[in-house]
Structure 1
Amino acid sequence: MLSALEPTNCTVCCCTLANKILMVVFMVFLIFAILFGNAVTLAVVLGTKHFQTPQGYLKASLATADLAVGIFVVPLSVYAELSILINGSTPEWTMLNSRDVTFHPCIFIGPMFAGCTFVSITTIFLLTIERSIAVVKPLHKEAVITKRRTTVLIVLSWVGSFLLAVTPILFSQDINLEYNSCSRMCNYALGGNGFPSQAWNVLLLFPAFDFTLLGGTVVINIISFSSIRQHSKRRKHLVEADCQTTTKPTFSDINAAKTIGTLTLAFTASFTPIAVFVVGNVIGNEWCNFSFFAFWILATNSCWNVIIYSARDQKFRHRAQQLLSTPLGRTEDST
């Protein structure tokens, strides 16, 4: 997503031909995993009435952002690395920066990766709020969480995320977009030799935004799980007293809250190395090896969502199996 300094000596462990080939194979495999997994998610959510809910819309938004990473971001890295393998030299466009007249892909791909990352964390935050309301205030769920409101929030999250993604090149002349030879991705980088305080503040805006949302997401998840625990204790007492209550969250709501909690943990684990790298870069560390693993750990997060859904949601898993086993997915899930 971003890199504060342009490395002068890439020491990432891909110098031998075998390692370079393995790296390209990994990238190609990742493309297919992202495309397949998120295409299945979109097919399940958009093609099944049961999943056409506010939560389903948010999952579709998350899958779309991940799908964009597999369509635009990773293939450019594959193209660049294949060019190096075939021609033995770095493609000319990777040496250009965003201030040059000649257009190069990083002007588009850099903000695309950053914007999709922001959309992902924003969507997970919205999913957490939606599940929290369903668990804490089950009687108010349908009145508060509507498809219309969810759609508006999704549109705002996409617009806001991509506006934030282009902030570095709009508000700082010292920051450019370049193809980073360490991370093997289009990153934000300094165009000059110094490190002005304004550029420092702009670059740290990204991890600050993400960790603010991640922190809020964790807090809301804690509140939801505390409520689930209280409901479980209350239900146990009511069963012992042979009573019933109508205000408890459903099993589906509780299971969905746990699924969103798993998504939060997965995204936090994948984004934390990037945040550490950016902060280290700002204070002057290049960390070439670390940058490669940090950025690609974040990229692999784009194919984990469908695995989490399949593991946590039996209805999702059943519908996905139907789609994969039936031609054109004609069998409709009746539940």
Structure 2
Amino acid sequence: MWQNSNVTEFILLGLTQDPLRQKMVFLIFLIFYVGTVVGNTLVIVTIKSSRTLESPMYYFLFYLSFADSCYSTCTAPKLIEDALSAKKVISYNECMTQIFALHLFGCMEIFVLILMAADRYVAICKPLHYPRIMRSQVCLILIVLAWIGSFMHSIAQIILALRLPFCGPNLIDHYCCDLQPLFKIACTDTYLLNLLLVTNSGAICLVSLTILTISYIVILHSLRNHSAEGRKKALSTCTSHIIVVVLFFGPCIFIYTRPPTTFPMDKMVTVFYTIGTPFLNPLIYTLRNAEVKNAMRNLWQVKTTSENRRRVESPISCLYTYDMTTSL
């Protein structure tokens, strides 16, 4: 990788320097990360295995869970490893890779949330046209466009990062690599670069939040014309989506839409949307969604039944084999 720097590695200061707190960080975020991977994998497997979850909403939820798992993997394993390391070192190339992956999957999550809101808008506001508008080919095209948009966004971020010269200080006051912490130690004036960052990442966050807000306002307004049962089901689904939007976009806007200043809470805010939100999403979408819970329950029952049948058939098979051998 091309390197505009005399620095070949960076030292991450992490969340804390206190040895006792570092052990707490290790335990807490290990639990969070394992829970994130297990929860999102369970959602992915359930959607792929269940015939009742073949609607576009669950098609998009599949990609949201996939993006969540990858997004958390960009930062959590390194944070967990560094919590037990005396020297938290990350190479220049690893740092650039982390920035690229972080923005790729973070942007993908934003686009998928917009697609999920669009799906709910069509389902609630234009139910008669829903099968024609949200057919499988359209959903596939939308997901491909989301990946392309995320990739282009990440390319823009990595170009900004690669333009930063580093001539000595290599201490990053953070637990992961991102552009704002790197701006602080770069040997150049980063005002213009920060303006480009706000224009890119900040604009994506603000515009996406605006689109989502308008969409859900229209959706909630249109629910007046639905039956009580229809309103209850639609509100349950939309409430889950709104909770995810607030939890994700609030911290992102706080980080990416401001002048190049740092605050003591920046690292904890970043933890919330890079590790906390991917952990909470499976809980939000399963605990508040009866269809997903029923699909998971049926999947578990099928698995348990097949295992019990295998255990029952195994001794019979062995006994049959023994009898045949004895008779011979």
User: Fold match, TM over 0.5?
Assistant: yes
Alignment of 1:1-335 (within 5 A): 14-83=16-85, 88-91=86-89, 94=90, 96-97=91-92, 103=93, 105-170=94-159, 174-175=163-164, 181-188=172-179, 189-190=182-183, 191-232=186-227, 251=230, 255-256=233-234, 258-280=236-258, 282-283=259-260, 285-287=261-263, 289-298=264-273, 299-324=275-300, 327=303
2: CA distance between counterparts of 1:300 and 1:9? 20
User: In 2 relative to 1, CA 259–176 (structure 1 residues): closer, same or farther, beyond 3 Å?
Assistant: farther
Given that 1:135 and 1:224 are in contact with CA atoms closer than 8 Å, whether structure 2 keeps it comes out as: yes
**Aligned-pair identity (%):** 16
2: CA distance between counterparts of 1:179 and 1:139? 59
2: CA distance between counterparts of 1:78 and 1:320? 30
Deviation at 1:181, TM superposition (A): 4.4
User: In 2 relative to 1, CA 9–67 (structure 1 residues): closer, same or farther, beyond 3 Å?
Assistant: closer
2: CA distance between counterparts of 1:11 and 1:116? 22
Structure 1 gap ranges (5+): 1-7, 98-102, 236-249
Given that 1:134 and 1:141 are in contact with CA atoms closer than 8 Å, whether structure 2 keeps it comes out as: yes
User: In 2 relative to 1, CA 106–119 (structure 1 residues): closer, same or farther, beyond 3 Å?
Assistant: same
Q: CA RMSD in A?
A: 3.1
Write the letter of the residue equivalent to 2:113. I
2: CA distance between counterparts of 1:176 and 1:277? 23
Deviation at 1:314, TM superposition (A): 1.1
2: CA distance between counterparts of 1:40 and 1:55? 17
Deviation at 1:152, TM superposition (A): 1.1
Write the letter of the residue equivalent to 1:308. I
User: Helix, strand or coil: the match of 1:50?
Assistant: coil
Structure 2 gap ranges (5+): 1-10, 308-328
User: In 2 relative to 1, CA 314–211 (structure 1 residues): closer, same or farther, beyond 3 Å?
Assistant: same
The size of the alignment, in residue pairs, is 291
Cα displacement string for residues 257-316 of structure 1 (whole angstroms, at most 9, x for unaligned residues): 642443233332333223223344x34x222x3121111100211122221222222121
Cα displacement string for residues 89-125 of structure 1 (whole angstroms, at most 9, x for unaligned residues): 232xx2x54xxxxx3x222222212111111111111
Cα displacement string for residues 17-53 of structure 1 (whole angstroms, at most 9, x for unaligned residues): 1111111112211111111110111111111111122
2: CA distance between counterparts of 1:54 and 1:329? 30
